[in-house]
Amino acid sequence: MTPSQHNSGAGLATTLRISVSRLARRLRVERLEPGLAEPALSDTQLAALATLERHGAMTPGELAEHEKVQPPSMTRVIAALAEWQLVRRAPHPSDRRQVVLTVTDGGRDLVHKVRRRREAWLARKLAELSPEERATLRAAAPILEKLSQS
């Protein structure tokens, strides 16, 4: 890509899409530690578990909405997480048709381990960058977060 193509809106979109996708793929690889007896969660399963860990109890519908997936897909995710005893279902306090999901201690531990692995890998990679490159990334982080929320 030429410098003028890179600076165009479409060129920047292409460059960001490729770079962010590669970084996300690399971080996904870092969530697993070879030889450990942990459930090999899908990206969606891990994201749902992390959401419950971060935000607290939710109904399946609230979790599906938060994760931007359809309720039937979230039902399958929840079933797997419950089977691995990473989430707990409890009766909803005011609606007998609903359940409330909470993360178990095992689920919380797993989320924390995965975060530590990913952050350790990323910290090592950031340490390889120049101070100027790290400052640029620090300035870009809120912008990337804004894009991810839109």
SS3 track for 31-54: CCCCCCCCCCCCHHHHHHHHHHHH
Give me the half-sphere count of Cα atoms (radius 13 Å) on the Cβ side of residue 105: 0
Task: Convert the pLDDT of each residue in 96-143 to its tens digit.
Answer: 888 999 999 999 999 999 999 889 999 999 999 999 999 999 999 999
Same-domain check for residues 75 and 108? yes
Average pLDDT, the chain: 88
Overall number of domains in the chain: 2
Instruction: Report, as an integer, the average pLDDT of 39-50.
Output: 89
Tokens at 30, concatenated: 């870092």
Same-domain check for residues 17 and 70? no
- Calculate Rg over the CA atoms of the chain: 19
Closest CA to 100 of 65, 52, 59, 48: 59
Percent of the chain predicted with pLDDT > 90: 59
Structural domain harbouring 26 = 1-30
Same-domain check for residues 54 and 117? yes
**Residue 27 predicted with pLDDT over 90:** no
Residue 28 pLDDT:
80
105 close to 97: Cβ distance less than 8 angstroms: no
Residue 48 pLDDT:
96
Tokens at 136, concatenated: 């640029």
